[in-house]
């Protein structure tokens, strides 16, 4: 799918600030894909559609989780996690994108998972470090992303876990598993 067509589809689904975020994630994903050897077109497409379901009604996303046999434990965690896995299904059904790598990257862009591909890491990290983001620790992750994809992803997952713990919020198990897996991939030297 061509970039302009994909962006036109997504723009109808998102509020203006979220659409602008999507453009920045796309640009960052392409840059990271070039740097770390991921397929640039797949990175572009996954980034464009990563927040496709972000503003869907919660009841609609709940129905998708139940009907499509997504992990039911998603319903026990904050609804902000739902738009990744539900969005991947919606993109497949509503837009017709069937590339499993692109869909997987959309699905795990918020939580991460064990065994993330380079493409998964690129989209996960681009969403975290895009230039419009401003929160404690993001500049450090940006700096590390220029040299070490795994370490930067590990830092992003660590920062997310720390933030959730500080807010007394539950942490989705895949996020812990991604953290541990990324720590292992850095040789424990993160």
Tell me phi and psi for residue 88, to 5 degrees. -60, -40
Give how many domains the chain has, as a whole number: 1
CATH assignment at residue 166? 1.10.3210.10
pLDDT in tens, 149-187: 999 999 999 999 999 999 999 999 999 999 999 999 886
pLDDT score for 119: 98
pLDDT score for 190: 57
Asked if 74 and 65 count as a contact pair (C-beta separation under 8 A), the reply is yes
Residue 50 within any structural domain of the chain: yes
* Residue range(s) defining the domain that contains residue 22: 3-185
- The per-residue pLDDT of the chain, averaged, comes to 95
Q: How far apart are CA 83 and CA 109, in angstroms?
A: 10
**Residue % of the chain over a pLDDT of 70:** 98
3-state secondary structure string, the chain? Answer: CCHHHHHHHHHCCCCHHHHHHHHHHHHHHHHHHHHHCCCHHHHHHHHHHCCCCCCCCHHHHHHHHHHCCCCHHHHHCCHHHCHHHHHHHHHHHHHCCCCHHHHHHHHCCCCCCCCCCHHHHHHHHHHHHCCCCCCCCHHHHHHHHCCCHHHHHHHHHHHHHHHHHHCCCCCCHHHHHHHHHHHHHCCCCC
pLDDT score for 69: 84
Q: How far apart are CA 47 and CA 33, in angstroms?
A: 11
| Full-model pTM | 0.95
89 closest CA partner among 59, 66, 117, 68: 68
Residue 190 within any structural domain of the chain: no
């Amino acid at each position: 799918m061509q970039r302009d067509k994909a962006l036109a589809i997504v723009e109808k689904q998102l509020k203006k600030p979220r659409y602008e975020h999507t453009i920045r994630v796309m640009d960052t994903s392409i840059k990271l894909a070039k740097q770390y050897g991921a397929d640039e077109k797949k990175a572009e497409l996954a980034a464009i559609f990563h927040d496709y379901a972000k503003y869907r009604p919660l009841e609609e996303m709940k129905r998708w989780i139940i009907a499509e046999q997504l992990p039911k434990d998603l319903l026990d965690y904050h609804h902000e996690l739902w738009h990744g896995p539900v969005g991947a299904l919606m993109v497949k059904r509503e837009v017709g994108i069937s590339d499993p790598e692109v869909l997987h990257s959309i699905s795990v862009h918020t939580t991460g998972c064990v065994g993330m591909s380079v493409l998964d890491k690129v989209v996960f990290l681009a969403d975290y470090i895009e230039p419009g983001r401003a929160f404690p620790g993001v500049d450090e992750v940006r700096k590390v992303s220029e040299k070490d994809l795994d370490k930067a992803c590990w830092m992003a997952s660590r920062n997310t876990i720390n933030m959730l713990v500080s807010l007394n919020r539950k942490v989705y198990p895949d996020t812990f598993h991604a953290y541990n897996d990324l720590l292992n991939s850095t040789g424990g030297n993160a």
